[in-house]
Amino acid sequence: MATMLISVLNLTLSALLLFHISVEVSATTLTLYNKCQHPVWPGIQPSAGKPLLARGGFKLPPNKAYSMNLPPLWSGRFWGRHGCSFDATGRGSCATGDCGGSLYCNGLGGTPPATLAEITLGIVGS
């Protein structure tokens, strides 16, 4: 009886551990769509201690989409920049949401005016 109880307990703990691991390694896909007739430059700023995604910004041509995987428990901000002009080295400026005069925000936030979305991924039930 004791052996059977230990086996059931081990099986239950193994199942819980596997469930926990599967939750921790899952990712969320975020797709940004540009439905404008002109390019936009999304800016991305991770929260402290979270990884930088897509170098913090990129050009998104008209009527195109860009998908990225967000790591588990990621949090940060996204905003649209427009009216941007950059040289071959990625230096320039944007009319809205500029981040230090760079194509790649590299963790910097956008200068107002900018409308942003803040995202925090968590685990269901936590």
Residue 41 lies in a domain: yes
Look at the block and give the residue holding tokens 């007739």.
37
Note whether residue 55 is domain-resident. Answer: yes
Q: Is residue 21 part of a domain?
A: no
Inside any domain, residue 112: yes
Q: Give the H or E element holding residue 35.
A: none
pLDDT tens string, the chain, 126 residues long: the values are 443 333 322 332 233 223 333 344 567 999 999 999 999 999 999 999 999 999 999 999 999 999 999 999 999 999 999 999 999 999 999 999 999 999 999 999 999 999 999 999 987 665
* Residue 34, in any domain of the structure: yes
| In-domain check, residue 14 | no
Give the global pTM. Answer: 0.75
And the tokens for 31?
């797709």
Does residue 125 sit within a domain? no
Domain count of the fold of the chain: 1
3-state secondary structure string, 65-122?
EEEEEECCCCEEEEEEEECCEECCCCEEECCECCCCCECCCCCCCCCCCCCEEEEECC
Rounded CA Rg of the chain: 21
Residue 52 maps to a domain: yes
Q: What pLDDT score does 10 carry?
A: 31
Which of 79, 69, 65 shows the shortest CA–CA distance to 121?
Answer: 69
Domain interval for residue 75: 28-120
Structure tokens that stand for 75 in this block: 């949090």
- Amino acid found at 53: L
CATH number at residue 101: 2.60.110.10
Record the tokens describing residue 73, joined without a space.
């428990």
Distance CA 57, CA 108 (A): 10
Q: What is the pLDDT of residue 27?
A: 73
